[in-house]
Amino acid sequence: MSSNCPESDATDSTVPSNEHWSSVSKHVVNSYLEANNAFLAAMGISPSSESETSTITTRRRPENAEAPITELAFGNEAWLMERSVDDYDDLDVGEYVRFTKTIDDTDVSAFAHISGDTNQLHLTESFAEQTQFGGRIAHGTLVAGTISAALARFPGLTIYLSQDLEFRAPVEIGTTVTANCKIIEKLGETRYRLQTTVETDDEITAIDGEAIVVIKEQPAN
């Protein structure tokens, strides 16, 4: 993945306090359990957890919000999704998916813990206040992850081949962002080039770029 950022992040980092991490430990554990259950399900093994899969709210057809998208193992009722086409055979240039979620403090802390990116710019308010951003901001790669989330919601099985990113604006913690992925060129039978952007709820483009993906028909269960 290539990226270009006009303002580089601060390079100093410290290990966050135990008190800071305790607030997200449950989130991290739950994320691990969900990933493990998804793997077991893919292998045809019933997960031992009794937790139910959450539904995905659809902005385009809210009356169908009760039905989850079958291609996805897990969802969250706070997430929003809109897509222009529901059938794999209808994929073509111009079709799109939009995915919306709020980047909250738990997301930032969990991402720092999982990735190891403990830059103070993202975790320590007193430090971040002294930077050009005036406060803590979300990791750029965390925000860019919403592009991957949107791609996963195209009908079929989406496989990343490449992603170019340009970080245009910071995303403050607590901001709701929308990833937009639109097919702009068909490169082969299953290969596509897409325009990929992430916008804030103030319609500011935080990330711009292009992706090359393969979208195959969803394997039979």
pLDDT per residue over 146-178, tens digit each? 999 999 999 999 999 999 999 999 999 999 999
* Residue 53 pLDDT greater than 50, yes or no: no
Per-residue pLDDT, 195: 98
The pairs formed by 18-27 with CB atoms below 8 angstroms and a separation of 24 or more are: 20/109, 20/123, 21/109, 21/113, 23/106, 23/109, 24/106, 24/109, 24/110, 24/113, 27/106, 27/109, 27/110
Per-residue pLDDT, 204: 97
71, part of any domain: yes
Least Cα distance to 159 among 148, 145, 146, 172 occurs for 148
Average pLDDT (179-208) is 97
Lowest mean pLDDT among 46-60, 96-110, 111-125, 174-188: 46-60
Q: Which pTM was predicted?
A: 0.70
Per-residue pLDDT, 162: 98
**φ, ψ at 192 (rounded to 5°):** -135, 150
Looking at the structure of the chain, the number of domains it has is 1
84, part of any domain: yes
* Residue 67 pLDDT greater than 60, yes or no: no
Torsion of CA 115, 119, 120, 125, to 10 degrees: -60
142, part of any domain: yes
139, part of any domain: yes
Burial tier of 29 (Cβ tally within 10 Å: 0-12, 13-18, 19+): exposed
What CATH number is attached to the domain comprising 86?
3.10.129.10
Structure token digits, residue 210: 């292009």
Q: Which residue has the higher pLDDT, 68 or 79?
A: 79
Structure token digits, residue 166: 């340009």
221, part of any domain: no
Owning domain of residue 178 = 2-6+15-216
% of the chain surpassing 90 pLDDT:
63
54, part of any domain: yes
